[in-house]
Structure 1
Amino acid sequence: MFEDFVLTEKFSNGFTVVLGAILCISTLFTILLATLPGQYDPYADKPPKFVDETGKEIKMKTKDGKDPLKWRQGRTVQILVLGDIGRSPRMQYHALSIAKHGGRVFLIGYQESEIHPDIVSNPLITIIPLVAAPAFLRSSSKLLFPILAPLKAIWQARSIYRALGYRSEPGRWMLVQNPPSIPTLAIASLVCFLRNTDLIIDWHNFGYSILALKLGKRHPLVSISERYEKIFAKAATHHLTVTNAMARVLKDSYGITAQALHDRPASMFRPITSQERTQFLARLPETAQYAQDLSPSSKTPWKLIVSSTSWTADEDFSILLDALVAYSAEATSKTHLPRILAIITGKGPMQSHYLTKVKALNQQKKLLNVIVTTAWLTPQDYARLLASADLGVSLHTSSSGVDLPMKVVDMFGAGLPVVGWGKFEAWPELVKEDVNGKGFASSQQLAEQLIDLFGKDDALLRQLKNGALEESGNRWNDEWDRVGGQLFKFIHV
Structure 2
Amino acid sequence: NPPSIPTLHLALLVSLLRGSHLLIDWHNYGWSIMATGRSQKNPLVWLYKKYEMYFGRVVPTANLTVTDAMARQLKEKPYSNKKPIFTLHDRPAEVFQPIASTKARQDFLSHLKETKDVADSIMAGTTRLIVSSTSWTPDEDFGLLLDALVAYAHPEEAVTETGVGRPPILAIITGKGPQKAEYEEKIKNLRLEGKLPGITILTAWLSTREYATLLSCADLGVCLHKSSSGVDLPMKVVDMFGSGLPVAAYSAYESFGELIKEGENGCGFETATELADVLIRLLSESGKDELKTLKAGAIKEGSLRWDEEWDRVVGRIVGVIDS
- Does the CA contact (< 8 Å) of 1:485 and 1:491 recur in 2? yes
Report the counterpart of residue 80 of structure 2 in structure 1.
Answer: 255
Report the counterpart of residue 34 of structure 2 in structure 1.
Answer: 211
Normalised to the residue count of structure 2, the TM-score between the two structures is: 0.92
Deviation of 1:238 after TM superposition, in Å, equals: 1.8
Secondary structure, counterpart of 1:295 in structure 2: helix
Secondary structure, counterpart of 2:92 in structure 1: coil
**Equivalent position amino acid for 1:280 in 2:** F
Report the counterpart of residue 271 of structure 2 in structure 1.
Answer: 442
Report the counterpart of residue 312 of structure 1 in structure 2.
Answer: 137
Deviation of 1:196 after TM superposition, in Å, equals: 3.2
- 2:245 is the counterpart of 1:396: no
Report the counterpart of residue 69 of structure 2 in structure 1.
Answer: 245
Aligned length: 313
Secondary structure, counterpart of 1:360 in structure 2: helix
1:294 to 100, 122, 125: 122
- Does the CA contact (< 8 Å) of 1:337 and 1:454 recur in 2? yes
Provide Cα deviations, 1:182-214, integer angstroms capped at 9, x if missing partner: 222233223333333332211111111111113
Report the counterpart of residue 425 of structure 1 in structure 2.
Answer: 254
1:280 to 104, 108, 114: 108
Task: Give the Cα–Cα distance (whole angstroms) in 2 for the partners of residues 335 and 439 of structure 1.
Answer: 23
- 2:237 is the counterpart of 1:408: yes
- Does the CA contact (< 8 Å) of 1:331 and 1:337 recur in 2? no
Identity %, equivalent residues: 50
**Equivalent position amino acid for 2:292 in 1:** R
Task: Give the Cα–Cα distance (whole angstroms) in 1 for the partners of residues 137 and 66 of structure 2.
Answer: 20
Task: Give the Cα–Cα distance (whole angstroms) in 2 for the partners of residues 369 and 329 of structure 1.
Answer: 10
Secondary structure, counterpart of 1:343 in structure 2: strand
Task: Give the Cα–Cα distance (whole angstroms) in 1 for the partners of residues 112 and 20 of structure 2.
Answer: 46
Task: Give the Cα–Cα distance (whole angstroms) in 1 for the partners of residues 17 and 37 of structure 2.
Answer: 34
Task: Give the Cα–Cα distance (whole angstroms) in 2 for the partners of residues 459 and 388 of structure 1.
Answer: 18
Normalised to the residue count of structure 1, the TM-score between the two structures is: 0.61
- 2:63 is the counterpart of 1:236: no
Report the counterpart of residue 13 of structure 1 in structure 2.
Answer: none
Task: Give the Cα–Cα distance (whole angstroms) in 1 for the partners of residues 213 and 27 of structure 2.
Answer: 26
- 2:303 is the counterpart of 1:473: yes
Secondary structure, counterpart of 1:371 in structure 2: strand
Provide Cα deviations, 1:441-491, integer angstroms capped at 9, x if missing partner: 101100011011112312211221121122232221221111121233321
Report the counterpart of residue 97 of structure 2 in structure 1.
Answer: 270
**Equivalent position amino acid for 2:315 in 1:** G
- Does the CA contact (< 8 Å) of 2:9 and 2:59 recur in 1? no
- 2:166 is the counterpart of 1:337: yes
Provide Cα deviations, 1:203-245, integer angstroms capped at 9, x if missing partner: 1111111111132222121111110001111212121111000
Report the counterpart of residue 194 of structure 1 in structure 2.
Answer: 17
**Equivalent position amino acid for 2:108 in 1:** F
Deviation of 1:335 after TM superposition, in Å, equals: 5.3
**Equivalent position amino acid for 1:289 in 2:** D
Report the counterpart of residue 358 of structure 1 in structure 2.
Answer: 187
- Does the CA contact (< 8 Å) of 1:331 and 1:369 recur in 2? no
Report the counterpart of residue 126 of structure 1 in structure 2.
Answer: none
Secondary structure, counterpart of 1:268 in structure 2: coil
Secondary structure, counterpart of 1:279 in structure 2: helix
Secondary structure, counterpart of 1:217 in structure 2: coil
Task: Give the Cα–Cα distance (whole angstroms) in 2 for the partners of residues 200 and 278 of structure 1.
Answer: 45
Deviation of 1:293 after TM superposition, in Å, equals: 2.0
Moved over 6 A (4+): none
**Equivalent position amino acid for 1:471 in 2:** E
**Equivalent position amino acid for 2:110 in 1:** A
Provide Cα deviations, 1:270-289, integer angstroms capped at 9, x if missing partner: 11121111111111111112
Task: Give the Cα–Cα distance (whole angstroms) in 2 for the partners of residues 466 and 235 of structure 1.
Answer: 42
Deviation of 1:331 after TM superposition, in Å, equals: 9.3
Task: Give the Cα–Cα distance (whole angstroms) in 1 for the partners of residues 142 and 16 of structure 2.
Answer: 43
The structure that has the greater radius of gyration is 1
Trace 1:118-267 onto structure 2 (pairs within 5 A).
177-178=1-2, 180-233=3-56, 234-253=58-77, 254-256=79-81, 257-267=84-94
The higher relative CO (CA closer than 8 Å, separation ≥ 6) is in 2
